Amino acid sequence: MTTSLALLMDGDPVAAWRANWAGVVLAAMAAVAVAWLLVIALAGIDPGRWSVEWTVERLAMGGVAVAGVRYVGIAVGWLLSGSGCLGAWV
């Protein structure tokens, strides 16, 4: 995922998606979370149920879920191919 994050930061979303789509999805989730946390911090508003802890917990759970989906997809693709070739899952 670090390769896709680095490519995304360099402004190449297509190459980032090809490297690892889960990293791109995680980066988008993190961007939304950072924006929300900045709004809370700078405006001094009461976050309500969307506290910092809640946001960080959901970001962590989402990242694990996205990575898990990708890794299960890779494993299924590998098992179904019979040759060990990962094909389009990589």
Can you give the pLDDT at residue 84?
A: 54
- For residue range 31-86, what is the model confidence (pLDDT) as tens digits? 888 887 788 778 877 767 667 788 788 888 988 898 889 889 888 888 887 655 55
Regarding pTM above 0.85, the answer is no
Which of the 8 DSSP states describes residue 82?
S
Q: How far is CA 74 from CA 29, 36, 78, in A?
A: 22, 33, 6
Contacts for 88 with CB less than 8 Å, ≥ 6 apart: 77
Q: How far is CA 11 from CA 6, 25, 40, in A?
A: 9, 15, 27
Are 8 and 27 contacting, i.e. CB atoms less than 8 angstroms apart?
Answer: yes
